[in-house]
A and B are shown apart, each in its own frame.
Chain A
Amino acid sequence: SQQGEEDPQALSIQEGENATMNCSYKTSINNLQWYRQNSGRGLVHLILIRSNEREKHSGRLRVTLDTSKKSSSLLITASRAADTASYFCALSGSARQLTFGSGTQLTVLP
């Protein structure tokens, strides 16, 4: 099974700024999902985007998917200190497994 690679590994921004994280992969997917993990907690699902979709929004979150480039991005607008967490992309492929990348650690400074 394949694994997405997030970029950057770590990101530090000021409150109010936008944060962009990227995920690249190598083979075809059925869908791509983004999750957030606060320190010491389990992962929380943010957005699922299917392979035939190009963009989805949820509140301050915007996810894009470019299957020709095999990449996805997660944009968090007007970031808050509470957005500080690790963000993971997860790929669902033909085997229906969900595999996670190593994540981006986002720090939002007040």
Chain B
Amino acid sequence: EAGVAQSPRYKIIEKRQSVAFWCNPISGHATLYWYQQILGQGPKLLIQFQNNGVVDDSQLPKDRFSAERLKGVDSTLKIQPAKLEDSAVYLCASSLGEDGHLHFGNGTRLTVT
């Protein structure tokens, strides 16, 4: 099966600019996750979707981050405006159900200068 696809692979922007990341999960996976991984740390959940509904976005900085999953398939994560501390790898993952294991994409490495 095809894995989780993410783009772009790398992105460099200046602070206060906006950026968007795209994710296409494994076909048939109802649950989609966005994680933020700062260098040297474990992934931190930003938002979890079940189909096209939000299950948990308690750790999403909603003043600058937004995410959507239209039609319950692919998803976009946007940051506007970006701050220096947003420099991280943004990982998308999907799973069949909420208790299953996650399949991760290779992530988008964001550098904010």
Contact = CB atoms under 8 A, between A and B. Distances in A.
Interaction A to B: yes
Interface of A: 1, 3, 30-31, 33, 35, 40-45, 48, 88, 90, 92, 95-103
A42 B91 contact: yes
A43 B43 contact: yes
B48 interface: yes
A-B residue pairs, 7 tightest by C-beta: A42-B104, A100-B42, A45-B101, A96-B98, A43-B104, A42-B106, A102-B42
Nearest to A43: B104
Contacts of B4: 42
A92 B99 contact: yes
22 contacts: A1-B45, A30-B99, A33-B101, A40-B106, A42-B4, A42-B91, A42-B93, A42-B104, A42-B105, A42-B107, A43-B43, A43-B91, A44-B104, A45-B103, A90-B102, A95-B56, A96-B55, A96-B99, A98-B45, A98-B102, A100-B43, A102-B40
Interface of B: 4, 33, 35, 40-45, 48, 55-56, 91, 93, 98-99, 101-107
A102 B41 contact: yes
Contacts, number: 52
A61 B26 CA distance: 26
Nearest to A101: B42
A1 B103 CA distance: 21
B42 A97 contact: no
Given A31-B99, A44-B104, A88 B42 contact: yes
Contacts of B105: 42
Nearest to A41: B106
A49 to B, nearest CB: 11
Nearest to B101: A45
Contacts of B40: 102
Contacts of B98: 96
Contacts of A40: 106
A45 B48 contact: no
A43 B6 CA distance: 13
